[in-house]
Amino acid sequence: MQSSIEPANAGSSKKFMFDGLRNNFYTQLTVVIILSALLELQRAAFFHGFARAESCFVEGAREMLINNQYVAPLFYGVPYFDKPPLHYWLIISIYKLLGVTLIAARIISILSAVATIAVLAVFVKRVLGASTALLSAVILATTIGFFEFGAVAMPDMLLCLFENLAIFSAYMIFIANSNYRLRWLFIMVTAFAFGWMTKGPVAIVIPGITLLISMFLFKKMPRLSFKEILLSAIIFLAILLPWHVSVYKNYGMPAFNWLYVQGNFDRFMGHQSAYNFGHKPGYMITTLLGNFLPWTIFLIPAIGQIILSVFNKKQSSINSKFILLLLIWSFCNTAFFSLSSSNWNYYSLPIYPALAIITAHFLIDLKNRYSPRKVELAYAIIAVGFFIVMSTYAIIFLPIKAKKDSYLNFVQPINQISEKIPFFFHLDLLEQSLLTDYTSFETKRLPVYCDQEKLKKMIITSQPFIVLIPKQDFENLQASTNSKLKVIETEPYPWVNFPGCKLINESEPGKPISIILASYNPTDK
């Protein structure tokens, strides 16, 4: 009898454990976070070379580290006040732990991505319930744009985390009237301050506009006591003031002019040709819809349903103040950057969590109207399909792409040459950042540029050196000096036509030109 009872108890126990895991919100959230982290790590590990503008932060942090200089971000040995330093500092901390590698530089974005998923889920569970919270996390983790920038060493994912913490906290303070105002106030102000230290005033401007519009529509005035205002000021200044004082002492007001006037106002207005990308007014909307795939097909009707609900003045769950706040935030962010000609699609990244919540709220409502099992199955197929496709993309396609990116091939021969021999980039390669930045970073050499005349003088003085140089300049140098420059490596490289770039007259933008890695040694026969 005993033997026949034990299997039944064991089966019952296993079923109980399985049901417990299936119904436990935090267990399910942990699974989502782990899978998302694995997906991001795959992309970070298999994507060789720089993506987007991450070279500025990856190489900049490396130069700050080797120069033991932590006040001003450095780029090519020059103080670079394009962004505040928090993201650089965090990358440096990972460098010290794991070494100076490209995947190490991307760890901060991966951690920021999974932290954003966790913050979103925990907060939404409090406001809209566990089902909406978990689905919001799944949607966010499986959008193309969020997946891409979760493994790119740029500050935008960190900004996304701080902006969402600030918006969620502000909702609890000013709209939900939480009994824990001081706790939420501390989180909000800290998030705003760290957001500013990540990417400047934009971390406050757009959320601030959003909150003002929302409270006007909700007929609620923001009220803070003197104690709360004083506490907020102390926290905010304690985070921002030390670095700003250090910058002023070391670099004076021109640094702030670069950081806040040129880097924000002038750039937004399109006064800087290097950042005037000429995007059309619909650029932010179309790229947002594309990057929110595969969930865009649900996002559009979800937004439509909210708008109809507002105009019809229906008192339903879809018309909740929280959902409206998220929609207003999404509109403000998209409209704000659509007004600028120097915008990029990843400027929408902070509102991805908001759009994920809006979509999840719509889908939960859809599930309640129709067959729950069939609807849940559809969600699962989309999410699992995304994971499989993106894993395949990271593991198989990205290594194939790396083999085609010819500029990666210059690194190995340079590493085989003694670091005592100077390494130069020809000045005509100044704007080809993928080529020069990646070569500098991977060879662990400080980038130094030289022009044709300097190369001639170096040959005359008989000093050994290596140089990365366009083929045309190489041939002209050989003809004018009868030098013994030896070709080490030759690769075709697409000449990128970024705004403000310096182009070789004989080559068309976007067409490949030959880049030569050459060495000069007067002792060679």
Q: Assess whether pLDDT exceeds 60 at residue 369.
A: yes
**C-alpha separations of 234 from 172, 180, 230, 241 in Å:** 21, 19, 6, 10
DSSP letters, 24-92, are -HHHHHHHHHHHHHHHHHHHHHH--S--TTHHHHHHHHHHHHHTT--SS-EETTEE-TTS-SHHHHHHH
Mean pLDDT of the chain: 82
DSSP letters, 154-201, are STHHHHHHHHHHHHHHHIIIIIS--S-HHHHHHHHHHHHHHHHHHH-T
> What mean pLDDT comes out for the span 490-508?
55
Count of CB atoms situated within 10 Å of the CB of 250: 12
What is the DSSP pairing of strand 512-520 with strand 486-494?
A: antiparallel
Q: Which of 4-13, 176-185, 476-485, 505-514 bottoms out in mean pLDDT, i.e. has the lowest?
A: 4-13
Q: Could you tell me if 253 and 367 are in contact, meaning their C-beta atoms sit under 8 angstroms apart?
A: no
pLDDT tens digits, one per residue of 200-218: 899 999 999 999 998 888 8
Q: Which of 137-146, 168-177, 336-345, 398-407 bottoms out in mean pLDDT, i.e. has the lowest?
A: 398-407
* Terminal Cα-to-Cα distance of the chain (whole angstroms): 94
Q: What percent of the chain has pLDDT over 70?
A: 83
pLDDT tens digits, one per residue of 302-356: 888 888 777 666 544 444 889 999 999 999 999 988 887 777 788 899 999 999 9
Q: Which of 23-27, 74-78, 161-165, 316-320 bottoms out in mean pLDDT, i.e. has the lowest?
A: 316-320
CA–CA dist 28, 316 (Å, integer): 28
CA–CA dist 438, 445 (Å, integer): 11
List, in sequence order, every residue forming a beta bridge with 175; answer none if it has no partner: none
Q: Assess whether pLDDT exceeds 70 at residue 504.
A: no
Q: Assess whether pLDDT exceeds 60 at residue 269.
A: no
pLDDT bucket at 406, cuts 50 / 70 / 90: low
What would the two tokens of residue 393 be?
A: 């993309």
Residue 510: the pLDDT is 56
Across 109-113, 417-421, 464-468, which has the greatest mean pLDDT?
A: 109-113
Selected residue with higher pLDDT from 382 and 298 = 298
pTM for the whole structure: 0.85
